[in-house]
Structure 1
Amino acid sequence: MTVESAAAKEETTPEPRIGRSWHVILPPLCYLAVAAAMVGYTQAVPLDGIEHGSLNLTFLRRRTWEHVELVFFSTVLVLVVALPLGVLLTRRALRRATPVVLALVNLGQATPAVGLVVLLAVLFTIGFWTAVVALFAYSLLPTLRNTMVGIEQVDPRLVDAGRGIGMSAAGVLFKVELPMAVPVILSGVRTTLVLNVGTAGIAAFIGSGGLGDLITTGVSTQRNLVLITGCVLIAVLALIIDWLGGLAQRYLSPKGLT
């Protein structure tokens, strides 16, 4: 390679990096622009009393934060339960319990989301934490299943190699199996997050707040602008969280596996 060609190569290197940066940043900017346009429109057009009560900025900010809290706490609960349980079910001693556990977890997701939320509200109480538990039960399966699949698909030769050099079972798990399973596990977590964002809208049926309040208000009072605003904001929030999950999946996965 000549000096001129090397210099030309160095000059052109930053351009792809800039292009890749814009490729990463552009989607959330578009999502936020849609949300800003929707909210700006609601503030610009004439509103009646019901619409103003549901579409003022303070109310929208409070309901959006409540929605984020529902998603956050339910997802944390999923991670606390699904990750260790998924690991345990791949161990030889507990492998026989896998069909029973998966059947129970499948039951939570097979139940209609509205029915699950209302059933828990009837059995326990109406409120925030009941909705969190319902979201947890509804979105547990993707993370649990992907944790198991990610560990089970690790090449057995790598596991044998780790044990052959004297690593303990825990060492093999934390230094070989889990790092290799990270992309699949993160894919399950990403699915759980998006499921929780969409399903959290139903929490409004039991007085748990969130952006679902806009949907229920819009339907019950026949205010289409309130209904559409709630749907748009939930969709934008789901897209942004999915984008964040994609970034985590990309940058937290071990090098060479993505």
Structure 2
Amino acid sequence: MIGIYISGKGRKHVADTVIYLASIMMTVPSLALYGILMGILSALTLPSIGFLPVVIALTLYGLLPIIRNTYTAIREVDPAMIEAGRGMGMSESQILTKIKLPLAVPVIMAGLRQAVVMNIGIAAIGAYIGAGGLGQPIFRGIANYRMDLIVVGAVFVSLLAIVIDALMGGLEWLATPKGVRIRRKR
């Protein structure tokens, strides 16, 4: 929704600011962000260890690829297509829902796919602050000098990322309107 909003006419300054802030978020190392969130959540008397800070961190990290791709995809729709819609009497909301978004779906889905796969790796680090998950064997292996646990954890996290990436690719294909799909040569 943020990407759709900032792609509107006259919102270039807002878009630049939002994308800049999301880009800054990506530069913060995940352990540092977990630490910052733990302090903030603790001050708010919310659970500061485990699931909540990890979910907030993953949400923040996932914003940039989704917002940037949504904004870019909508802004890059061929102006002739938009003008054709106007010529047919479409309102701005109809142009958005019937022209811009359908044409932008592949790029938006690519941003979502990137965010999900990236967050799998970041979520594994969440085990360090008690969130559990596939990162646990890695951190147990590090703590106990057990290379087998480290490798098993790393392999499972990697396999999960690969499988989810493939599934997201299929979802991207299904979500893309038939007329917009790129046919691949075999």
Taking structure 1 as the reference length, the TM-score comes to 0.66
Aligned partners of 2:9 and 2:90: how far apart in 1?
18
Please name the residue that 2:84 is paired with. 161
Query: Which of the residues 74, 98, 106 maps onto 2:23?
Result: 106
Please name the residue that 2:45 is paired with. none
How many residues align? The count is 175
Shift in Å at residue 175 of structure 1? 0.4
Aligned partners of 2:94 and 2:15: how far apart in 1?
23
Residue type of the alignment partner of 1:133: I
Alignment of 1:1-258 (within 5 A): 84-124=1-41, 125-257=48-180, 258=182
Aligned partners of 1:111 and 1:136: how far apart in 2?
14
- 1:160-196 deviation digits (Å, cap 9, x = unpaired): 1111211111111000000000000011111011101
Aligned partners of 2:140 and 2:28: how far apart in 1?
25
- 1:47-100 deviation digits (Å, cap 9, x = unpaired): xxxxxxxxxxxxxxxxxxxxxxxxxxxxxxxxxxxxx11011111142221121
Residue type of the alignment partner of 1:211: L
Aligned residues of 1:121 and 1:206 also touching (Cα < 8 A): no
Shift in Å at residue 208 of structure 1? 0.9
Shift in Å at residue 123 of structure 1? 2.1
RMSD (Å) for aligned C-alpha atoms: 1.1
Aligned partners of 2:179 and 2:97: how far apart in 1?
18
Aligned residues of 1:118 and 1:205 also touching (Cα < 8 A): no
Aligned partners of 2:75 and 2:21: how far apart in 1?
21
Taking structure 2 as the reference length, the TM-score comes to 0.90
Which structure 2 segments of 5+ residues have no match? 42-47
Judge which range, 178-187 or 111-120, deviates more.
Answer: 111-120
Aligned partners of 2:55 and 2:8: how far apart in 1?
29
Aligned partners of 2:30 and 2:50: how far apart in 1?
16
Structure with the higher fraction of residues in helix conformation: 1
Aligned residues of 1:117 and 1:202 also touching (Cα < 8 A): no
Aligned partners of 1:219 and 1:122: how far apart in 2?
25
